[in-house]
Chains A and B, each alone.
Chain A
Amino acid sequence: MRWLWIDSIIEHEPESRLVAIKNISLSEDHLHDYFVNGHVVAPFSLLIEGMAQTAGILVGSVSRFKEKVILAKIAHANLDRDVTAGDCVRFDATIERLDKAGASTTGVIDRRVAGGDAWERVGTIELMFSHIDNNMAGVEFPEDNFVFSDNFKMVLEQAGLASLAEEVKEEQCLG
């Protein structure tokens, strides 16, 4: 995960649900290239990436990050309203189904209504993840877990979930 698209994890229900937030800022260069009706908006593709990172961490956490989890399919994605600079966006991901080969997740994206604590729905996204070492095609990948890198571990540490990633680090050292 080279480009973090979530700022922090705010809720974690083990093996079930993960909630993360992202604050959209004008200091993000890509926003200056994306306008709708003259207004700066966050590209929907990057909101999908935020949900993919949130749900991907959730799916990876079930195996304590021993599995390499990659986004394999965007099953459904609907956007009801735009997100713009200054918005706080919430990614709420839930595991629908998980097995040895992969997982499916459902997720909702909300944004905080300006000036209050209420949230309004931005969109819904269903994703499929593959545990690529157990993929049906039988393709082999490097042993090193290249999916979950150091900056992702930083997000876990800030959320008080560092112990989830620590086990991987220790096993990799032993290996």
Chain B
Amino acid sequence: MSRDEIFEKIQTVLDDALGVDEDEVTPNASLTADLGAESIDFLDIVFRIEKTFDIKIPQGELFPEGLTENPEWVADGNLTDEGLSMLKERMGHVNFDAIENGDRNVSKIADSITVDSLVNFVEMKLGS
């Protein structure tokens, strides 16, 4: 499946899960900041991507989880260098440049997850 085909299917997934228009679903749109996704929407998106692409997504693989439970990763509400390294290693489908070069607050992590992140993830899963 080509990257364009994956993108088109992701547009439909987000249209169904978030009630947004497909033209709002641009590659750089942030799921939370631009498309209004909330925590339960992430689970909805995972389920819909699994069904659409016939793949299995273990919990925590597509979206980060349990970060705040590890003091080595988060201190005083901010992502540590160790936490950032861990995220970059585990979640190669997400571009964390904005976090690395700007606000390290954990509440900003979700903003880094874009439509492109989902396309990257599906491309990787289908490729493997």
Contacts and interface: CB of A to CB of B under 8 A. Distances in A.
B39 A136 contact: yes
27 contacts: A72-B40, A72-B43, A73-B40, A73-B41, A75-B16, A75-B17, A76-B16, A96-B47, A96-B51, A97-B51, A100-B59, A101-B43, A101-B59, A102-B43, A104-B44, A104-B47, A128-B43, A128-B44, A130-B40, A130-B43, A136-B39, A136-B42, A136-B43, A136-B65, A137-B39, A138-B68, A138-B69
What is the predominant secondary structure among interface residues of chain A facing chain B? strand
Given A100-B59, A136-B63, A75 B44 contact: yes
Given A97-B47, A97-B51, A138 B40 contact: no
B21 interface: no
Interface residues of A, number: 17
Nearest to A104: B47
Interface string B44-80: 1001001100000001000101101100000000000
Contacts of B40: 72-73, 102, 128, 130
A72 B41 CA distance: 9
Contacts of B42: 136
A73 B44 contact: yes
In the complex, the 6 A-B pairs of residues with the closest C-beta atoms, listed nearest first: A72-B40, A97-B47, A73-B40, A104-B47, A136-B39, A102-B43
Interface of A: 72-73, 75-76, 96-97, 99-102, 104, 128, 130, 135-138
A97 B68 contact: no
A146 B70 CA distance: 29
B110 to A, nearest CB: 10
A130 B59 CA distance: 14
Contacts of A75: 16-17, 44
Contact of B39 (A96, A99, A104, A135): A135
A97 to B, nearest CB: 4
Contact of A99 (B41, B44, B59, B69): B59
B115 to A, nearest CB: 19
Contacts of A128: 40, 43-44
A101 B58 CA distance: 11
Nearest to A139: B39
A168 B69 CA distance: 29
Nearest to A99: B59
A100 B44 CA distance: 13
A136 B69 CA distance: 11
Nearest to B58: A99
Given A76-B16, A104-B44, 8 more contacts: A73-B40, A75-B44, A96-B51, A97-B50, A101-B43, A128-B44, A137-B39, A138-B68
